[in-house]
Chain A
Amino acid sequence: DGGITQSPKYLFRKEGQNVTLSCEQNLNHDAMYWYRQDPGQGLRLIYYSQIVNDFQKGDIAEGYSVSREKKESFPLTVTSAQKNPTAFYLCASSTDSLNQPQHFGDGTRLSIL
């Protein structure tokens, strides 16, 4: 079935450690996105990519990095510079059209050890 796969489902980070969250899609979508969700809050945009080898910062990009080497993959690295990384991270993809909905993965919960 077509969809978006995020892994792992749960992730723990030690102080000073970088961790990478995986996001893969087989929907042939050009655009991919990373959002962060804190308890009781809406989603905030971290990074997005509308085409391979290109990506843009969202509203809360500090302490995060991404790459887009393949159309299917958009991994997110949470660096040690992100001082409050505990959150629920959601990856999404869409066609390059304003009227099409985004499709979301099941999310990754990141916690600090």
Chain B
Amino acid sequence: AQKVTQAQTEISVVEKEDVTLDCVYETRDTTYYLFWYKQPPSGELVFLIRRNSFDEQNEISGRYSWNFQKSTSSFNFTITASQVVDSAVYFCAPNSNSGYALNFGKGTSLLVTP
């Protein structure tokens, strides 16, 4: 069975702090992709970053960076120099067994205060 765990329910930081969001994905699959989405208060889901399961090289895209540790099935997503506009719920979502559908974690609510 697949299990997606976002253990942090809520995080609060002050603007300009770095913040790391954790995601653990337990699966027997060896090849999959994992996506991070942001859901601002308006409700739409915005795609942020994608990572595969077979490359442990860290990646950086603007203020976002991505750390994958295969040994712990841990995909950590870091926002550098957080801004108030980063306040949202962040979802970790790997591919599921249902075709190309995604298997969403419960999300981490991030609040960035001035």
CB neighbors of B among A42-88 (8 A): 42-45, 48, 50, 56, 58-59, 88
Which chain B residue has the least Cβ–Cβ distance from A42? B104
What are 7 sample pairs from A and B whose C-beta atoms fall under 8 A apart? A40-B107, A42-B93, A43-B102, A44-B104, A101-B50, A105-B44, A106-B42
Give chain B's interface secondary structure class. Answer: loop
Which chain A residue has the least Cβ–Cβ distance from B96? A45
Taking each of A35, A44, A99, A105, which has the highest tally of chain B beta carbons within 10 Å of its own beta carbon?
A: A99
CB neighbors of A among B58-114 (8 A): 91, 93, 95-96, 98-107
Q: Which residues of the partner chain B approach A102 to less than 8 Å between Cβ atoms?
A: 35, 47, 100, 102
Q: Which residues of B contact A (CB under 8 A)?
A: 4, 32-33, 35, 37, 42-47, 50, 52, 91, 93, 95-96, 98-107
Given A90-B45, A99-B52, check contact A43 B32 (CB 8 Å). no
CB-CB nearest 5 A-B residue pairs: A42-B104, A104-B45, A101-B47, A43-B104, A42-B106
Q: Nearest Cβ distance between residue B29 and chain A, in whole angstroms?
A: 11
Asked if A99 and B33 make an inter-chain contact with CB atoms under 8 angstroms apart, the answer reads yes
A40-B107, A58-B98 given. 11 additional CB < 8 A pairs? Answer: A41-B106, A42-B107, A44-B104, A45-B98, A48-B98, A48-B99, A88-B43, A98-B100, A99-B52, A101-B50, A106-B43
Q: What is the CA–CA distance of A102 and B33 in the complex, to the nearest angstrom? A: 12
Q: What is the CA–CA distance of A45 and B101 in the complex, to the nearest angstrom? A: 8
Asked if B100 and A42 make an inter-chain contact with CB atoms under 8 angstroms apart, the answer reads no
Q: Nearest Cβ distance between residue B45 and chain A, in whole angstroms?
A: 4
Cβ 8 A contact of B100, one of A35, A50, A59, A90: A50
Asked if B52 and A42 make an inter-chain contact with CB atoms under 8 angstroms apart, the answer reads no
Asked if B44 and A104 make an inter-chain contact with CB atoms under 8 angstroms apart, the answer reads yes
